[in-house]
């Protein structure tokens, strides 16, 4: 099987979540049937949203260092445990020696197989601002529904003040209200478009029709590595 290289540290909990999902999605009866995974938990990568908003340094140099370390250690392809970081993928590509799977494109493809017509995006302010999900979804024939400024602020706060800060008793009522409002606006499902949001959903017991972008990426990585995938995602529905 091929070796997976995870560019991580954005944040550390999201990195662990991706690795765990790769392991759980692998059909294996013993250790030796699992995939070789290399992880660079690079916490030196500057904040992606701050960089996009012009409030911090570019993460590209540190992302490239991670990619080079993983390549030199034997990774056959790369994945990034951060949605927002995919905005910086184009300037990285000319320097990469091995392929990288786009979480954004994989998630949009999955939404298409499910027959969704309008999907809500739960993500950082930076990811929403870049338009990376909007373009991928529109290319797949799906209408993206972005949070309003107030809804986006609630989601962003949960990521930074809840998950990243390790606050177990964070009040998610504003986020739940945002979900109800977006459902009323026509969202058939919600993309968990920040790798910390699946962590938040489990951590804070939030319910909804969620599309876990981390799970989508994990399962695509398992298949590309050459293992049999034990899918946790809903299969294509007749709509």
Of 24, 82, 111, 176, the catalytic one is 82
pLDDT at 238 over 50: no
CB 182 within 8 A of CB 190: yes
Tens of pLDDT, residue by residue over 136-159, are: 999 999 999 999 999 999 999 999
Instruction: For residue 176, indicate whether it is catalytic.
Output: no
CATH 3.40.50.1860 fits 104-213, yes or no: yes
What's the pLDDT tens digit per position in 174-190? 999 999 999 999 999 99
The domain defined by 4-102+215-225 folds into Rossmann fold (3.40.50)
Q: How many CB atoms lie within 10 A of CB 35?
A: 19
Three-class secondary structure assignment of 159-177: HHHHHCCCCCCCCCHHHHH
Pick the catalytic residue: 24, 111, 128, 194? 194
111 is catalytic: no
pLDDT of 236 higher than 80: no
pLDDT tier at 124 (50, 70, 90 boundaries)? Answer: confident
* Cα distance between residue 47 and residue 215, in whole Å: 23
| 37-41 sheet: strands from edge to edge | 37-41, 4-8, 77-80
Q: Fold match between 4-102+215-225 and 104-213?
A: yes
**Domain spans in the chain, listed from the N-terminal domain onward:** 4-102+215-225, 104-213
């Amino acid at each position: 099987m091929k070796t997976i290289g995870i560019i991580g540290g954005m944040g550390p909990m999201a990195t662990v979540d991706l690795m765990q999902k790769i392991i759980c999605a692998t059909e294996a009866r013993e250790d030796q049937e699992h995939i070789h995974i290399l992880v660079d938990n690079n916490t030196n990568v500057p904040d992606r949203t701050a960089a996009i908003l012009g409030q911090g340094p570019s993460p590209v140099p540190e992302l490239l260092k991670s990619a080079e370390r993983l390549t030199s250690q034997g990774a056959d392809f790369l994945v990034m445990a951060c949605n927002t970081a995919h905005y910086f993928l184009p300037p990285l590509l000319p320097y990469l020696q091995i392929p990288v799977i786009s979480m954004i494109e994989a998630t949009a493809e999955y939404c298409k197989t499910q027959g969704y017509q309008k999907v809500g995006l739960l993500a950082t302010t930076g990811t929403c601002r870049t338009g990376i999900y909007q373009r991928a979804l529109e290319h797949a024939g799906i209408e993206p529904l972005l949070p309003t400024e107030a809804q986006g602020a609630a989601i962003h706060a949960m990521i930074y003040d809840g998950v990243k800060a390790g606050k177990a008793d964070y009040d998610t009522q504003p986020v739940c209200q945002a979900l109800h409002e977006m459902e009323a606006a026509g969202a058939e499902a919600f993309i968990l478009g920040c790798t910390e949001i699946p962590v938040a959903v489990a951590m804070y017991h939030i319910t909804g029709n969620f599309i876990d972008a981390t799970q989508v990426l994990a399962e695509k990585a398992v298949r590309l590595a050459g293992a049999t995938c034990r899918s946790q995602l809903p299969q294509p529905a007749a709509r």
